Amino acid sequence: MLTATGKSIVSGIAVGNIKIFRKPDRSISDAPAEDPAAEVKRFEEAVEAVIEQQNDLYEKAVEEAGEDNAAIFQVHAMMMEDDDLLDAVKDCINDEGHNAEYAVRQGFEEVAHMFEEMDNEYMRARSADIRDLENATLDVLMGIDPDGIQGTEPAILVAEDLAPSETISLDKSLILGIVTRGGSATSHTAILARTMNIPTVIQCQEIDDSWDGMTAVVDGYNSSVYVNPTAEILKVMLERQEQDQKEAALLEDLKGKESITVDGTKVKVYANIGGPEDVEAVLENDAEGVGLFRSEFVYLNTKGNPPTEEEQFNAYKDVLEALAPRQVVIRTCDIGADKQVDYMNLDHEDNPALGFRAIRICLTRKDFFKTQLRALLRASAYGNLAIMFPMIISVRELVSARELLEECRKELEQEGIPTGPMEVGIMIETPAAVMIADELAEHCDFFSIGTNDLTQYTLAIDRQNDKLDPFLDTHHPAVLKEIEATVEAGHRHGIWVGICGELGADRDLTEQFLRIGVDELSVNPKATLPLRKVVRGLDLSLPEKVEEENFR
């Protein structure tokens, strides 16, 4: 047996076979084509295979996501029949003597660059479609099976690291546990793992490709991975897994009960989600609402171009209708930093966390932003919607965002499209926002404190840099004082204040949060019932049982 250690992100026990997640190697040789005619034939056969693949994806998407969401695959199939694209590749083979793989790379990139140089934003976005098709064609030529990357059987997924876009595209029903060599506790991959409640260990340096196919146990309680466990270890781990299942069954008794302390203090216990696929978890765990719908994952789920107004409207409407009358707080697009999509064509930045992201993108690409705002306003007619703007650092930004929202509302009224009432708030996730919280509160219905970024910016610690984990103190007095100051400012202006970052699920801080007046805690769905249990066991009329005050 091999015991490997790392840092636990999600407690629990996972038992199963290991599947090594290997990104496809598309390294291409510039070796000349010995038989150009044969290379052209290989390319033509690959084109036919990709067209068939895109048509199959279209049929699957129609069933799972509807006609509008599936249309992109029809567009891809038509693109693969474009004469300019096909001729660019064939000329590279016939005239320049290159092999099919090299010609595909050159030909598709040439066409992609042509789209990028166009004035029309929609046409520029097509460059990402071309690159998607380039990779699909190379996969056929090089014998890469995209489905083989994850496999088709439930397994413990082991990887160097996972980008948010990779994590979101995985079939979560096949993931028993996650182990990565890299990663940080506050990365969005870690957040997704918590949302899925999958036992996860990161920063496991002993990872080795030879583990592929071996039986293993992910021990999220002890930050360990046991590869080829002994019979004794396996027995102990299975017993602990069974104990977890029994404890989860006991929490079922809390469903339908209020999140209220012994002395009568109520707090809203909401859930954080990434999209419609998480609604079932919200309902299963009896969350009282959604405090953070990360709408950027609707963007990460869309290949080739941004989601249309109709696609977004359907996604938001589905969630609102399924959860009504529960409140659903949707954060507007927070693309940037560690959440990148090719079609946004964002420039490389040396320090993206401090760069062009979130509201900064939206206020400078107003057509892009208005597409989402229109979709949100349309969806507001179907449930209890609230929206919040991320990364606000000034009153000017907040006022500009609200003016665009009102502009969209008036457009929809003129078009005869109904909208509903909704609260509008902001994320408090920078020290600047904390410092001017009183001024911001005058233009808001609520604050939601994003403790992950607030901690990052307050402590000057990059949340994506695992080397800084030894210096990270999530209970740092400065962060806790900022939370208290934000709550006080919000209440002075009669608005409610919640926490939607990871600290909301930190049950060591629950009592302190309730004592300073936090109105709402939004956590991953699986954490809602354990948090409700803690809340219902508190009596705030009694002196606080702490040796040292966290907030002063």
Binding-site members for Mg(2+) are 429, 453
Q: Do 100 and 93 form a contact (C-beta atoms < 8 A)? A: yes
Closest CA to 10 of 204, 171, 151, 201: 201
Helix (H, G, I), strand (E, B) or coil at 185: coil
Beta bridge mates, 3: 226
| Catalytic, out of 92, 333, 444, 500 | 500
Beta bridge mates, 14: 218
Between CA 42 and CA 37 the distance in angstroms is 9
Residue type, 533: K
Between CA 176 and CA 170 the distance in angstroms is 12
Q: Which residues contact 245 (CB under 8 A, 6 or more apart)?
A: none
Beta bridge mates, 522: 270
Active site residue 188: yes
Q: What is the DSSP letter of 199?
A: -
Active site residue 500: yes
Place of tokens 């979560």: 172
Residue type, 388: M
Closest CA to 71 of 61, 84, 81: 61
Beta bridge mates, 216: 16, 227
Torsion angle, alpha carbons of 215, 220, 223, 225, to 10: 0
Torsion angle, alpha carbons of 86, 91, 97, 103, to 10: -40
Q: Which residues contact 399 (CB under 8 A, 6 or more apart)?
A: 443
∠ at Cα 477 (472, 481), nearest 5°?
A: 125
Place of tokens 């040292």: 548
* Cα Rg of the chain (Å, integer): 25
> Do you find a cis peptide bond into 32, omega within 30 degrees of 0?
no
Beta bridge mates, 19: 157
Closest CA to 495 of 512, 513, 518: 518
| 187 burial via Cβ count (<10 Å: 0-12, 13-18, 19+) | buried
| Catalytic, out of 188, 204, 333, 362 | 188
Residues at the annotated binding site for phosphoenolpyruvate? 294, 331, 452-453, 463
38: left (phi over 0), alpha (psi -120 to 50) or beta: alpha
Query: Catalytic amino acids?
Result: 188, 500
